[in-house]
Every structure is written in C-alpha cells, then in structure tokens.
Amino acid sequence: MDLAIEAVGKHFPGVVALDDVSFEIRPGEIHALMGENGAGKSTLIKIITGLYQPDGGRLLIDNKESRFASPRDAIGAGVSAVHQERNLIPRFSVGENIMLENLPTRRRLVDYEAVHAQARRFLDLIDPSIDTRAEVRRLSVAQMQIVEIAKALSLEAGVLLLDEPTASITDHEAQALFAVLRHLRSEGKAIVFVSHKLEEVIALSDRVTVLRDGKVAAAGEPIARMSRSRIVSAMIGREERTAEIGARNAVGGVPALEVSGLTTSLGHREVSFTLRQGEILGLYGLVGSGRTELARALMGDARILAGEIRLRGEPIFVTDTPTAIRRYRMGYVSEDRKSEGLILADSIRANIAITVWRSIASGLGLLTRRAEERVAEPLARRLDIRTPSLDQQVGKLSGGNQQKVSIAKWLAAGVDILIIDEPTVGIDIKTKAAIHELIAEITRGGVSVLLISSDMPEMITLADRILIMRDFVLVGEIENERRYETMSRRIMGFIHGEIDMVDAKGQAEANHG
Amino acid sequence: MTVARRFFTQEWSALAVAIAIGLATLSALSPAFLTEYNLYVVLRSFCVVLVVAFAQMLTLAVGQLNLAVGALGGLVAIAVGGMMEKLGLPTGVAVFVGLAIGVAGGVLNGLLTVRTGINGFIVTLATASVFTGINLGVTESIPFYNLPPDFVAFGVKRFFAVPYLLIPPVIAALLLALFLARTVPGRYLLAVGGNPHAAELSGIPRDRIVVLAHALSGLLSAVGAILAEAQLGSAQPTIGADWLVISFAAPIIGGAALTGGHVSVAATALAVVLVVLIQNGMVLAKVDPYWVQFLLGALILSAVGLNRFRAIRIERA
Amino acid sequence: MIASVDMGSSFRLKAWLAEQSNAIGLAGIVLLFWIVFASLAPGFISPFNLFAMSRTLAIDTVIGFSTMVVLATGGMNLAIGAIGVCSVMFAGYLMQVLSLPGPVALAGGLALGSLLGWINGFAIVRTGVNSFIITLASASLFNGGMLILTKAVIFNGLPPTIAEFGRMRWDVVSPLLLVALLIGSALIVLFRLTALGREILAAGANARAAELSGVPVGRAIVIAHTLSGLLAASAGLMLLSRLGAAMPSVGQDWLLPSFLAPVLGGALLSGGSVSVVGAMIGALLVTTIRSGLLILQVGNFWLQLFLGVMLLLAVLLDRYRAVYAERRSLGRRI
C-alpha cells in the first residue's frame, strides 16, 4: 500500500508544528523519520494515524485522496502504530490488549482461547517470556512497550509506524524487533521508523526523511546516500551547532548541591554528583532514562530511600515541593510547561508572581495587582517577553514566550539552584538562542543550574560538565570541551554502553591530576 | 493455586468474609433472623437495590457519575403505573414501554454528555431535575394505587423464602456479568473506562460506547423502578428518591474504580447483600433506622480508604 | 516590549468588560423575567413579595457561595445540605435544650459547620479520592448522625429574637440580604485580593503547576472545604431565623440551586475561575423564577423541570464560550 501526504500543515495556538510537509511511504521499505525534539515527527505520525486532522494539504492512499477523521479510519485503511506514550488498558490482560482492535469471537462471545493463542503468536516474535494472561498494569515499562509492538503487529497492517520503539527496551529485544521488521518488509509491508538513534536508523532503513522545525530538510533519501554527518546536518541545519553564549566565568569549585548515593522510590540507584556554584551541569539521557524523575525527587516529589543531599555543605531533607522552594531556594522548570509549568488561563503577571505570593502579600494577607506587577514587570522586561500587557493570558503566548514566563517565576523567587528540564522543546531557533543566553546569564548572577536535556547541540552549547544517565543510573560524567563532533560521540558512547564510567573517571582524573 | 488461595486473592473475599461473619452474628443474636419470613423480607429488599446498584455500576465503568438513576426510575415507575391504571394497557405492554422510557432517558444522558463534552455529573444532575419535574408534574404527587392484580401478585408471591421478585435481578446479574466479561461491546465499555485515549487509538468508538453505558444504566433504572412498583403494590412518585447514595455505595464498596475501567458484578452484588443484611439487622434489633444512613456513609468512606490503601501498596510494589 | 501604560490599561478595560459580559448578560435576563412576571401577575412586584424574595435570595445566595468556593478548587461538595441541617439542629439544641443565648448558639452552629467542612477537606486531601464520593459519603454520614442524635425532632421553642430577626423588614428588603451581601463582599476580597484566595484558585486551575510553584495545594483545598462548611452553616442559620424553628428537613433540596447560581454566574466546573457577582446574579435569577412560577401558580413541580433545563443551558453556554474563546485565539501568535 502506498501512503503519502502532500503539502500538509498543522498548527496549534502559538506554534507551527508542520509547514508544507510532504512525505511518502512505499510498500516493501523501511522508511526512517528523523528530527530533533520538536521538529514535528510526532505530529506527523498523529496525522497519519488519524489522531489529528491536518490544517492543509492532502492525504493519499494508493494515489487516491483520503481522510482519516479518527484512529478508526486509519486502522480501517490498514495503518497501525506504536506511539511514543503507552496506550494500553491497565486492567486488561496482555493478550486482550494485543488483540483489542480485533477480538476473536465464537458465537457472539469473546473467544479467550483464541485471544491468548493469537496474542502469543505475535508476542513470541519479540519476547516469549511475557505471559499473555498477566495484567498489563503489573508489567515493567519495557514489557509494556513490547506488548504495544506486538499489538501493532497483530493488525497485520499494510503500513506500520513505530515512534521511538526501542526507547525502553534492551538491545536484545531491539534486535528481535528489527528481525521482525525486516521480515515484514520482505512481505511487502511499508514501515515508518521514527528514531533519533543514528546507528539503528543507518543499520535498518532503506530511506530516510528528516524534519527540522516543522519542515522537510531531507525527503526520502536513500540511506546509502546519507552519511551520518549528512543526516545530522539535515537535523540541525549546519555542521557545527555550538553557539557562543558569552564568556563563562571560571567556575569556582564551591559545591552548591552535593548528592551522594541517592536511591529513590522512582527507581534511581546510587546516584552521586556535585553541582558547583554558578555552574551549568548538564544531565543528558534519552527519554525514559530517569532524569525528570531525578528532578522530581530533588524537589520533594518522590521518596528518597537511601543517600544524602547536601546544600552548601549542610544535609537537607526535602519533604515536599513547597519546602524545597521556600526553605532551600530550589526551583524546577518543568519539561511540560503547558500542564506543569504554567497556569495557562492566568495572566503573565500571576504566573510570574505565583512563587512569591506569600512573600509579597501585606501583613493582612492582601495581595494587590500592584504588588504582583512590581515583581513581574522588571522580569518581563529583562527577559524580553513580548506582550501588549502583563494581563495577557499565558495560554495565548508563543511557546518561546511561555517558556520565558516559566523561567521568570523562578527568578522572582530568587532561587539559588534551578533545575531546568528540556527548556527549548517546540521553540523556534531565535527564541531558543535567547533562552540559552538567558540561562547563561542566570548563572553569571550566581544561580547554579542543573540542565536536563536530550538536545545534543543545546547540551554542548550550555553545559560546563555533562552527566549521562541511563536506566535511572548515572553512567558517565565528563567535562565539556565544546567541540560538537567529539562531545556528541563521547556522550552517545556512554548512552550505548560503549564507554565505561570507570574509564571516564580515569580520564577526568588524568585531566585534573 | 489451592482453592483457599484463589479465594483470598479475589477482591471480594473481604466482603464475603464480612457477610459470613454478619450472618453468623445475626443468627446467633436474633432468633427471628433465620425464619422463612425474615429471609423472604431480606431477599425482597435485595431485589431493587441490586438492580439500582448495577445501573450506577455501568456508568461508573466508563468513568461517569450518574445522578439521574433515581429520578429516571421514579419517572418510569409512574409512567408504567399510569399506563396500567389510567390507560388500561396490559401489564406486558406497560412494562415494555417503561423499559423503553428508561433506555430513552439513558440515551439522552449519554448524548448530552458526549455531544457537549460536559461532565456527566452535571448533565445527570440537570436531567435528574427534569425527570423529577415531569414526574411530579404528571402525578402531582399522587400515587397510582389501582394496579393490575397479577402485577401486584408478582411482587408478593414466593417459593418458600424466595420471592418471585428475585428472578429478574438474578437474571440481570448473570446477563450483566456475561456482558462485561465476554461480549465485545462489554469489553469495549471497560476499555473506554480503563483508558479512554488508548481505547480510541484502538479504534473503539468511544462516544458510542459511553452512550451505550448510559442507555443500559437507564434500562436498569427502569427495571429497578418496575420491581419497586411491584414490591410496593402501587406506583409511588417517590420511588427512586433514596436511590442515589446506595447506587454509589454498593459498587464502591465492591471495589469499583472511580475513574472507570474496573467494576465487578459479583463484588457489587455482595456489597448489596452486606448493606441489606445491615439494614435487616437494624430492624430486628429495633435500632434507630437512621443508623443505616450513617453506616452507609461510613462504609463508603472505609471502602474508599481501603481501595486507596491497596492502590498505594500496588504502586509501591 | 512592555507597551506604554495607555495600551496596558485599555487592554485591562477590555479584559474586564469581557469578564463581566457574562454577569451583564445574566442581569439582562433577570430584568427580562421581572418584566414578564410583573406584567403577567402584578403581585410579583408587591412589597410583600419583594420582601419574601429578598429573604429567599439571601439564603440561596449563600448556598450558592458554599458550592462556589469548592468549585474554585475544581471539586464539589455534595454535603452542603447535610452540613446546613447539622448546624441548624445543633444551634437549635444549644438554644432550646441547653438554654444558651442566641449568639452563642449561632456561633456554635457556625463552628460545627466549619468543622464538618474541614473533615471533608481533610479526607479529600489525605485519601486523594474524588471530592464527589467523599462528600456523598459524608453527606450520608452527617445526615444520619444528625438524625440519630436528634431523633428528628423539631426545635420550635427557640428564643423569640431569632424568629423576629427573620421577620424583620426594611421596607421591601430583609436584613438577611444585607448579611448575604456582606458575605459576598468578603468573598470578593478573598478571591481577588488575598494570597489565600489566589492559592485556592490556582489549585483549581492547575493543581500540579501550582504545587510545583510552591503553592500549598493540599492546605488550600482543606481551607476551601472548611469555608464551604462555614457558608453552608450560615445559610442554614439564616433559614433558621426565617423559619423560626430548627427542622431536620433543612438542606434536602439545596444541591441543584447551589450549583446553578455559581455556574450561571460563570464559575468553571473544572475549577480555577469563579465570579462572586455572577453567582449573586445567578441566585437572583433562580429566586426570580421560583417566585414568579409560584405567583403564577404554575406549580412547584414544573419548577424542577425548569431548573434542570436551566442548568443544562448554563453549562452548554459555558462550554460554547470556552470553545469560542479557544477558536478566536488560534492563529494569534504573540
């Protein structure tokens, strides 16, 4: 089955997700779709699977114009997908989840024997160890992802889309998956494979399409013609992407935050690192590696089972988020600014002043607009937030301006330590640069920043040192030499387990010795 | 797994044990408990409550709160009574039309909920008022007393301690259990409740399923109303007025997940047994009937607390 | 770039007008109904009817406030009727059986209402369970408890000052209305001008974001429920003065009107946004219709129907407004 989209656009309030994108899949091929965070890959997938409707352009199946008004239409047309987030029914069994689109029946009743037998067939292709009768909510994240893959396979669809299918599974299982995909390809199926893991893409796919900032940067190029560096430069727009962010102060060695042997209820094991005063410490890792969860633990949103946290030498016990903010002057810029970082229906003024409401209220508890303005206005000016008025609803701002607001509120609170999680997802280039400059400027003022990012150029631009996390454990710690090719290779080396923490430590000691 | 092990891992095992203890205590403390007549009374009060509990259980299954269960029931009751008394329609026809009204009311609730995207709670709060208004407007609070004798007789006849009235609820329970466990629409219903987004991605017609849940809920309200009418021997406009709390209490005590996707016919039925036993016990012990209301509230809170406790334990595992 | 003050204040004016458009529209509808009822039945605007309406309005307004403060947090309180009747019976008990002076008994009633509200809030925050279920259960608990303790007697041997206050008349208006307006003013101050009020609204608008910004969300919810209980008790005590006796039937029919007033007034069911003025005008609309239908002898029964349809329309309108606002903001990038 031939599936194509032509000149498709899609926008949301404040951001253009896709702009004049054309994309075409042929039967009997594995077509990789690549791009940085926020480039538009997930939006494209959601359009092809009927979750979103495009604002412009058309969808063609076997060269006939078509319309997917809902996921049902897409499934009916022979498109099945494994999305990035988990989409399983928690209390149903593995088998039932796999066969949900197509429950086999006998005499109008669900035939559970057949359900489990058929589910078993598809599950065995990747991981025979999962019990089809187990309740999905009791599985691990990796197992759930495998179940989802089996589910997509069960549809025996003409077009199979996989969005970061190997994010949470082991190499062994990934290899099994690839074998299945190759087999499907030989049967004439069309496979779209979204991944940011270059090695996988090069090894597996026939053609590759690269998206950048919502537009097509490389359209269906045969993989033979796309070298690693050509793919990367299509993704980032130029060869080297390390921007200048101004002179970094010689970072003093004074530790602002020391974490030792931290084990949390979320799954972290023995995490240890030191955040130095005025430094930008990067924390790199893939989706699901445990970085955001670490931030949550530091902010008091999870239980600490073992280990110690010291703030300027003194041990601290963060019991809940208000304590972390008020007493320890820590802040957290959430990766999900729309649902966690901001109250969209509220004004810019309120969103900036929220962290200090209690402090700016008068003795009687009265909180005037003027008091809020006194806090918000200078910050809005300093951060160059573009708006006709501070009363503007934050939900109406562009992504970049929204992010500035969500950072501004921590400056209002005067935090000493700021954890920033994926600051520039879905933000245009110019504002991205502005935010990077802002982060650097904050640290010049004495704030220490823990920067969580899966955006390699961003990490290499900003961080003084870089920690690498995988599966809720720290696997690497390196100084940033700010040369893109070498640094990205080293970081990816840690991610794929090619470099050992011990080696890296030895390196670091040799460098400092 | 041994039989004992399998018993204790069932969610409703705690309920079953509580009931067993309750039965033992009641029979020991009150000689009147185990008489045929008393058991008959207990089973009779069980009938309506069970169906009403199922009506709410279905909407809870898709994660919706249905405040119109009682009001719709009241409306059906007087409609059926009115048809039999005033219009002289044969019992079968009246009952059929009554059930149709129940389904229609449910469909109205469902459509309003999905088409407008408004919270099911508010929609049913409003429609409950509408149904009650129609009910009172038509009857002007005067019950229909002259119901066909065979209808009234059905509400009274029994086979030793087992009332004929028990047959419809038991059939309903079995059909419902089958529906939710083994039919495609039933499984889809639970899927929509369990994870609406995932269900949609799997091609399940989410809106249609929600309307189906409401329609079935309306049908069961109607069944409950007709049973209540037979039990009372007259069509009282107040039928359904006190259904709200018990309709939630039973499924919740039976472990229903408030967000949807997890209900149990067996556990709900056992919860109803427990509540009815408590009520009966109070009557036999000549305790203030007001204690029932109090205990119902306490039971719901304990059940909810227990469910949360269990959920936290699972999360930690 | 922050624009000059002029642009800023015109923006603010426009935003304020948009906010008040709902209240203005509602007031228009009220006026319309008054004209209709007055022309159909002149008795509608008779001094006595106006006085009677003002008393009912006062009580309905405070009932609406009781639900409104909880709606602000994105939750609901099904126990307002139960809390109301418990406070009333408790006050009646204090006055009649323990012969305590009126003010003491009233204070006792208010304290009990606050306590019961606090219990709700505490249970909701501690267990993390939906406020619907918790308050449904507590309503049963409180009501049952009250019936057990009082055996459903009516306390009608109260000090005469209580009933006198309820009968007091300032021309066409009851002093109870002044009480309601004072409460309303206090709530306006709370939600617009105090940190606590802002925190309650933030907890309703986006609890997660508020929490991550250091707002003590749990505490805000508990306080909101305590306040709700206090307001329910106030409404009950106002009703007590009007009835001149403490009856266990108080609160039975509070639920629908308590939702109707704030929702008509523009409160969002999802939380985070309430309008005190809107709720007051909403209560006025409900009282108007109630009184009008009564005067026209249409029958109390049809009132139920009317109110139900009104609630549906109110919520539909709210949804339409939200969708319309979203559509207008699409394509506007700043």
DSSP calls for A450-495: EEEES-HHHHHHH-SEEEEEETTEEEEEEE----HHHHHHHHHHHH
User: Which chain C residues have any C-beta within 8 angstroms of a chain A C-beta?
Assistant: 1-3, 7-8, 11-12, 15, 189, 193-196, 198-199, 202, 205-206, 208-216, 272-273, 326, 329-334
Q: Which of A47, A100, A113 to mutate to test the interface with B (most CBs of B within 10 A)?
A: A100
User: Model confidence over B129-188: pLDDT tens digits?
Assistant: 999 988 888 887 788 888 888 888 888 888 877 888 899 999 999 999 999 999 999 999
Structure tokens at C212: 């991550």
Check residues C305 and B219 and name the one with the higher pLDDT: B219
Q: What is the mean pLDDT of residues C277-301?
A: 87
**Hunting for tokens 């906010």 — which residue is that?**
C19
- Rounded to whole angstroms, the Cα distance separating B282 from B276 reads 10
Q: What is the mean pLDDT of residues C2-19?
A: 61
In B, which residues are within 8 Å of C116 by CB distance? Answer: none
List, as ranges, residues 92-131 from C with C-beta within 8 Å of B: 123, 127-130
Q: Is the pLDDT of residue A195 over 50?
A: yes
Partners of chain B (3+ Cβ pairs below 8 A): A, C
pLDDT of B308: 78
Q: Is there a contact between B200 and A89 if contact means CB atoms under 8 Å apart?
A: no
Q: Is there a contact between C133 and B126 if contact means CB atoms under 8 Å apart?
A: no
Check residues C322 and A181 and name the one with the higher pLDDT: A181
Q: Is the pLDDT of residue A131 over 60?
A: yes
Q: Is there a contact between A89 and B184 if contact means CB atoms under 8 Å apart?
A: no
Q: Is there a contact between A88 and B204 if contact means CB atoms under 8 Å apart?
A: no
Q: Is A74:B245 a contact under the CB 8 Å cutoff?
A: no
Structure tokens at B258: 């408030």
- Nearest CB partner across the interface for C334, out of A326, A384, A397: A397
Q: Is there a contact between C210 and A354 if contact means CB atoms under 8 Å apart?
A: yes
Q: Is the pLDDT of residue A423 over 50?
A: yes
User: Model confidence over B226-278: pLDDT tens digits?
Assistant: 999 988 888 888 899 889 989 999 998 888 877 888 899 999 999 999 989 88
* Residues in a beta bridge with B159: B162
**Confidence label for A321 from pLDDT (cuts 50, 70 and 90):** confident
pLDDT of B311: 72
- Nearest CB partner across the interface for B291, out of C144, C263, C304: C144
Q: Is the pLDDT of residue C132 over 70?
A: yes
pLDDT of C258: 93
Q: Is B192:B280 a contact under the CB 8 Å cutoff?
A: no
Phi–psi pair at B128, nearest 5 degrees: -60, -45
**Ranges of each domain in chain A:** 3-236, 243-329+415-513, 336-413
Which ipTM did the prediction report?
0.86
pLDDT of A512: 46
Share of chain B above pLDDT 90, in %: 44
Among chain A residues, CA nearest to C331 = A13
Answer whether residue C92 is part of any domain. yes
**Confidence label for C329 from pLDDT (cuts 50, 70 and 90):** very low
Strands A29-34 and A207-212: parallel
Structure tokens at B122: 């508010």
User: Model confidence over C39-85: pLDDT tens digits?
Assistant: 888 888 888 889 999 999 999 999 999 999 999 999 999 999 999 99
Structure tokens at C50: 């106006």
Share of chain C above pLDDT 70, in %: 92
Q: What is the mean pLDDT of residues C259-281?
A: 89
User: Model confidence over A364-399: pLDDT tens digits?
Assistant: 778 888 999 999 999 999 998 888 889 888 988 888
In B, which residues are within 8 Å of A108 by CB distance? Answer: 183
In B, which residues are within 8 Å of C150 by CB distance? Answer: none
Specify the DSSP element, H or E, that contains A44: helix A41-48
Q: Is there a contact between A388 and C272 if contact means CB atoms under 8 Å apart?
A: no
Poorest-pLDDT segment among A98-107, B137-146, C168-177: B137-146
pLDDT of C139: 95
For the purposes of burial, counting CB atoms within 10 Å of the CB of C285, is it exposed (0-12), middle (13-18) or buried (19 or more)?
A: buried
pLDDT of A38: 66
C212 touching B (Cβ < 8 Å): no
- Rounded to whole angstroms, the Cα distance separating A201 from A199 reads 5
pLDDT of A449: 95
Q: What is the mean pLDDT of residues A259-287?
A: 89
Nearest CA to A123 among A160, A177, A74?
A: A177
- Rounded to whole angstroms, the Cα distance separating C50 from C333 reads 51
pLDDT of A208: 92
A366 touching C (Cβ < 8 Å): yes
pLDDT of B61: 95
- Rounded to whole angstroms, the Cα distance separating A382 from A237 reads 29
A179 touching C (Cβ < 8 Å): no
pLDDT of B254: 87
Q: Is there a contact between B261 and A90 if contact means CB atoms under 8 Å apart?
A: yes
Q: Which of B62, B182, B201 to mutate to test the interface with A (most CBs of A within 10 A)?
A: B201
Poorest-pLDDT segment among A234-238, B100-104, C201-205, C295-299: A234-238
Nearest CA to A421 among A269, A274, A262, A285?
A: A285
* DSSP-derived secondary structure letter, A273: E
Q: Is there a contact between A265 and B316 if contact means CB atoms under 8 Å apart?
A: yes
- Rounded to whole angstroms, the Cα distance separating A488 from A481 reads 10
pLDDT of A240: 45
Partners of chain C (3+ Cβ pairs below 8 A): A, B
- Rounded to whole angstroms, the Cα distance separating A462 from A437 reads 9
Among chain C residues, CA nearest to A299 = C212
Nearest CA to A490 among A289, A284, A294?
A: A284
Strands A280-284 and A448-453: parallel
Mean per-residue pLDDT over chain A, rounded: 85
Strands A29-34 and A190-194: parallel
- Provide the CA B36 distance to its chain's centre, in angstroms: 25
Q: Is there a contact between C7 and A14 if contact means CB atoms under 8 Å apart?
A: no
Kindly report the pTM of this predicted structure: 0.86
pLDDT of A46: 87
Q: Is the pLDDT of residue A12 over 80?
A: no
Distance (Å) from the C-alpha of residue B8 to the closest C-alpha of chain A? 18
User: Model confidence over A106-115: pLDDT tens digits?
Assistant: 988 999 999 9
Please state the CATH superfamily assignment of the domain spanning residues A243-329+415-513 in this structure. Answer: P-loop containing nucleotide triphosphate hydrolases (3.40.50.300)
Q: Is B265:B218 a contact under the CB 8 Å cutoff?
A: no
Q: Is there a contact between B194 and A90 if contact means CB atoms under 8 Å apart?
A: yes
CATH of A3-236, one of 3.30.70.890, 3.40.30.10, 3.90.1150.10, 3.40.50.300: 3.40.50.300
**Confidence label for B7 from pLDDT (cuts 50, 70 and 90):** low
pLDDT of B232: 87
Structure tokens at A427: 């933000």
pLDDT of A85: 81
User: Model confidence over B189-232: pLDDT tens digits?
Assistant: 999 999 999 998 888 999 999 999 999 999 999 999 999 998 88
In A, which residues are within 8 Å of C208 by CB distance? Answer: 339-340
A326 touching C (Cβ < 8 Å): yes
Strands A330-333 and A215-222: unpaired
Among chain C residues, CA nearest to A301 = C212
Q: Report the amino acid identity of residue A13.
A: P
pLDDT of A254: 81
Share of chain C above pLDDT 90, in %: 52
Q: Is the pLDDT of residue A177 over 70?
A: yes
Pairs from C177-181 (Cβ < 8 Å, separation ≥ 24) = C177/C54, C177/C55, C177/C57, C177/C58, C179/C58, C179/C62, C179/C234, C179/C238, C180/C57, C180/C58, C180/C59, C180/C61, C180/C62, C180/C238, C180/C280, C181/C280
pLDDT of C59: 95
Q: Is the pLDDT of residue A500 over 60?
A: no
- Nearest CB partner across the interface for B297, out of C141, C300, C319: C141
List, as ranges, residues 369-428 from A with C-beta within 8 Å of C: 377, 380-381, 384, 386-392, 395-398, 401, 409, 413
Strands A190-194 and A207-212: unpaired
Q: At what angle do helices B69-85 and B36-61 cross, to 10 degrees?
A: 120
Q: Is there a contact between C319 and B129 if contact means CB atoms under 8 Å apart?
A: no
Nearest CA to A440 among A204, A227, A278, A268?
A: A278
In A, which residues are within 8 Å of B197 by CB distance? Answer: 87
**Confidence label for A252 from pLDDT (cuts 50, 70 and 90):** low
Which CATH number belongs to the domain containing residue C248 in this structure?
1.10.3470
Distance (Å) from the C-alpha of residue B154 to the closest C-alpha of chain A? 33
Phi–psi pair at C210, nearest 5 degrees: -60, -45
Q: Is the pLDDT of residue C325 over 80?
A: no
In A, which residues are within 8 Å of C334 by CB distance? Answer: 14, 386-388, 392, 396-398, 401
User: Model confidence over A35-73: pLDDT tens digits?
Assistant: 876 678 888 888 888 888 888 888 888 888 888 888 888
Strands A473-479 and A465-470: antiparallel
Answer whether residue C204 is part of any domain. yes
- Nearest CB partner across the interface for C206, out of A339, A365, A377: A339
Sign of CA dihedral C326, C330, C332, C334: positive
The whole domain housing C274 covers 26-322
Among chain C residues, CA nearest to A384 = C1
Number of domains within chain C: 1
Check residues C193 and C9 and name the one with the higher pLDDT: C193
- Rounded to whole angstroms, the Cα distance separating A456 from A466 reads 11
Distance (Å) from the C-alpha of residue A292 to the closest C-alpha of chain C? 13
* DSSP-derived secondary structure letter, A85: S
**Ranges of each domain in chain B:** 42-241
